[in-house]
Chain A
Amino acid sequence: METEEKIYKGLPASKGIAIGEVFVYKTESHYYDIKDKFSDPATEISDYESAIRNSIKELNKIFNLAKEKLDDTNLQIFDAQLTFLYDDLLHSKIKQRILQENKPAHIVFSEEIKKLEDALMNANDDHLRERVNDIEDIKNRVLRNLNKGRLFSKIKENAIVVARNLTPADTILFSNRNLLGIATDLGGINSHVSIISRSLKIPAVVGMHDISVHISSGDMALIDGYKGVLIKNPSENTIAGYTEKIKQNLEFEKKLEELEKLPSETKDGVKINLSVNLEFNDEIDYVTAHFGCDVGLYRTEHMFLEYGDFPDEETQYRQYKFLAEHVYPGKVTIRTFDIGGDKILPEHQKELNPFLGWRGIRISLDKEDILQTQFKAILRASTKGNVKIMLPLVSSVDEVIKSRKILLKAMEKLDESNFKYDRNIKLGIMAEVPSVVFMAEDFADVADFFSIGTNDLIQYTLAVDRDSSLVSHLYQKFHPSVLKAIKALVDGAASKGIPVNVCGEMSSDPCAVALLIGLGIKELSVEPISFLRIKNIIRQISYTHACEIAEKALQMNTENEIRNYLCEFYNEIKTEVN
């Protein structure tokens, strides 16, 4: 085994430093080849049974959600796939073979499916040969579920997870296993794995190209989430240096903690409502105890990923009520499901451009009952008057009007059952599609507030996929057009007297704080990990100065110029705690 220290570079996705053993998480495609150790027939059989159950659950979920989106042929294929999963003769044969031949479930299952595939491939008829695809799909689904269940039990606690890529569901799965850190080949600093690791406060480095090949499970590694590097086999010197760095960071954090009880206002006394973005309920206690702030954005997608389906009204209600009660007297803005079609649609129906496709409010309006259920659950949690609703990915005024109608219907339904709720609940929108920028005044007529989602606003304004490593350098948050877009949204909101906040990644960027305040933003919603850092910056700038900075930046026409200007200003104040 090589023990030489080696440094690999990537993108800093989530701050923090971790030292520990590596666990390489191999995703589906190359996981099939792994020769698993055979445990014992009883375990193999129960693994197989639960893989079949999970596959049935998955298919039913897809079937129900995609029913109206699929043509008849595809629906029948789904239905046929379900018939496979209910084939008891197949199951009993597989179980019998596991027992008699002492072979692992995935091998026996693959062999049985292979027999069928061979039979079809030998047919003289093209039609039948093509059916191999249907079978391939069902085979992959079962094998994936078989592996997933085992994988989870195999994930080492307290390890650094290295993977080609992690889906949001993977990341959430891992979060229950005490991860030390994450390193991935793919992904940008704004991809989901990065956002989730920041919210879970797990150090992460992404975009490492092929780290998953260069490192193996059991290797020692160090992850530096500040610089974006992974050090394989760190030497004693390196570890000592980092131990010192960890110490310094802790001291700085400690100094920052003194800010907890101080107000979030500029040097010249302008109040800035600093709130947090939340994704998981277990973060709430920490936030209320230490920050005592509003929740500017509560994402609800994680429920979909956890339950593998849209949760029912009661399940949602319990989560929202818990949240609203804990945050009270603070306010909480709950965003309706912001799920992409890529999470729901089957492989062969996937859209070419999921970011321009069926996602966010588009799904919610096509599936009115899902939106109405979510509205009812949110309304029921609003009795203390501290809850607001926010719609994601709005691109037309119609969508707001339709949503409001559904909200009224939800209220009527609750009235029928004598439920109490806040009749004046605010319904706002995420401002993240350029059409909202161009029509800011019109949107301000129908929405109660704007929340600027900078990640999507930047990607849609600049036509850059933030996850594509080929163009990610063109994803420029200080692009002059982005500044102008924010300005237009602030002006549009002001013309109708509605509030506007920024809840995207940009609000957690220290260099952006003065700019945003200067542009007229009075509310910033940040990731909890950045809360005190951002508060510290707010307290060190004056509002008048911020306005001058924003005005100057608006005159500039390259991102480079703007970035240098803003970061220079930040560097002057960054090490002080005030």
Chain B
Amino acid sequence: MIEKKVRIINKAGMHTRPASQLVKIAAKYKADFYIIKDGFQINGKSIIGVMSLAAEEGSELTLKFDGPDEKSAASEIIKFFEEGFGEP
């Protein structure tokens, strides 16, 4: 299992578009993917879960990956967060 802390850096936060992209990336991997915010954990493969975190700019999240391909899943998803979801 891999755990990693990330921060939301884009202005608009985790809104509909990045949430949808994130879910799509996660779906490519077998590994389970969870996001924890303020002690609240959701399944990162569910867009309704991801969006219900209401993660705005500056929020700190913990990502959890667990499964055979957790390494590649973690690297792609962490990169997506670090790039600010490709947004300003």
Q: A80-B16, A80-B19, A127-B13 are in contact. Are A87 and B48 (CB under 8 A)?
A: yes
Shortest B58–chain A CB gap in Å is 9
Contact between chains at B51 and A131 (CB < 8 Å): yes
- Number of A residues contacting the other chain (C-beta, 8 Å)? 27
Nearest A residue (CB) for B43 = A89
Q: With A and B bound together, what is the CA distance between A76 and B15 in angstroms?
A: 11
Choose the segment among A3-11, A118-126, A535-543, A547-555 that binds chain B (4+ C-beta atoms closer than 8 Å).
A118-126
Q: Which of chain B's residues have a CB closer than 8 A to the CB of A120?
A: 51-52, 54
Q: With A and B bound together, what is the CA distance between A120 and B17 in angstroms?
A: 15
Q: With A and B bound together, what is the CA distance between A122 and B55 in angstroms?
A: 11
Contact between chains at B56 and A80 (CB < 8 Å): no
Contact between chains at B13 and A76 (CB < 8 Å): no
Within 8 A of B (CB), among A67-101: 73, 76-77, 79-80, 83-84, 87-90
Q: With A and B bound together, what is the CA distance between A115 and B53 in angstroms?
A: 11
Q: With A and B bound together, what is the CA distance between A135 and B56 in angstroms?
A: 17
Q: A87-B46, A119-B53, A122-B54 are in contact. Are A128 and B20 (CB under 8 A)?
A: no
B57 at interface by CB-CB < 8 Å: yes
A134 at interface by CB-CB < 8 Å: yes
A40 at interface by CB-CB < 8 Å: no
A250 at interface by CB-CB < 8 Å: no
Contact between chains at B23 and A83 (CB < 8 Å): yes
Q: A80-B47, A89-B46 are in contact. Are A128 and B54 (CB under 8 A)?
A: yes
Chain A CB within 10 Å, residue with most, of B16, B49, B56: B16
Q: Which of chain B's residues have a CB closer than 8 A to the CB of A113?
A: 48
Contact between chains at B51 and A90 (CB < 8 Å): no
Chain A CB within 10 Å, residue with most, of B13, B46, B48, B51: B48
Q: Which of chain B's residues have a CB closer than 8 A to the CB of A213?
A: none
B1 at interface by CB-CB < 8 Å: no
Contact between chains at B48 and A89 (CB < 8 Å): yes
A246 at interface by CB-CB < 8 Å: no
Shortest A540–chain B CB gap in Å is 66
A106-121 near B? 1/0 per residue, CB < 8 Å: 0000001101100110
Q: A84-B48, A115-B52, A116-B48 are in contact. Are A127 and B24 (CB under 8 A)?
A: no
B64 at interface by CB-CB < 8 Å: no
Contact between chains at A116 and B51 (CB < 8 Å): yes
Within 8 A of A (CB), among B15-46: 15-17, 19-20, 23-24, 43, 45-46
Contact between chains at A89 and B15 (CB < 8 Å): no
Q: With A and B bound together, what is the CA distance between A443 and B41 in angstroms?
A: 67
Chain B CB within 10 Å, residue with most, of A88, A116, A122, A131: A131
Q: A90-B48, A116-B48, A124-B56 are in contact. Are A131 and B16 (CB under 8 A)?
A: yes
B79 at interface by CB-CB < 8 Å: no
Q: A77-B17, A89-B46, A125-B13 are in contact. Are A83 and B24 (CB under 8 A)?
A: yes
B5 at interface by CB-CB < 8 Å: no
Q: A76-B17, A131-B16 are in contact. Are A125 and B56 (CB under 8 A)?
A: yes
Q: Which of chain A's residues have a CB closer than 8 A to the CB of B43?
A: 89
Shortest B82–chain A CB gap in Å is 20
Q: A90-B46, A120-B54 are in contact. Are A128 and B24 (CB under 8 A)?
A: no
Q: Which of chain B's residues have a CB closer than 8 A to the CB of A116?
A: 48, 51-52
Q: Which of chain B's residues have a CB closer than 8 A to the CB of A80?
A: 16-17, 19-20, 47
Shortest A127–chain B CB gap in Å is 4
B71 at interface by CB-CB < 8 Å: no
Q: A80-B20, A83-B24, A122-B54 are in contact. Are A127 and B15 (CB under 8 A)?
A: yes
Interface residues of A, Cβ cutoff 8 Å to B:
73, 76-77, 79-80, 83-84, 87-90, 112-113, 115-116, 119-120, 122-125, 127-128, 130-131, 134-135
Q: Could you list 7 further interchain pairs (A-B, Cβ under 8 angstroms) beyond the known A79-B17, A83-B19, A83-B47? A: A79-B20, A80-B19, A120-B51, A123-B54, A125-B56, A128-B56, A135-B51
A-B CB contact pairs (8 Å), 20 listed: A73-B17, A80-B20, A80-B47, A83-B20, A83-B23, A83-B47, A87-B48, A89-B43, A90-B47, A119-B52, A123-B54, A123-B56, A125-B13, A125-B57, A127-B15, A128-B14, A131-B15, A131-B51, A134-B16, A135-B51
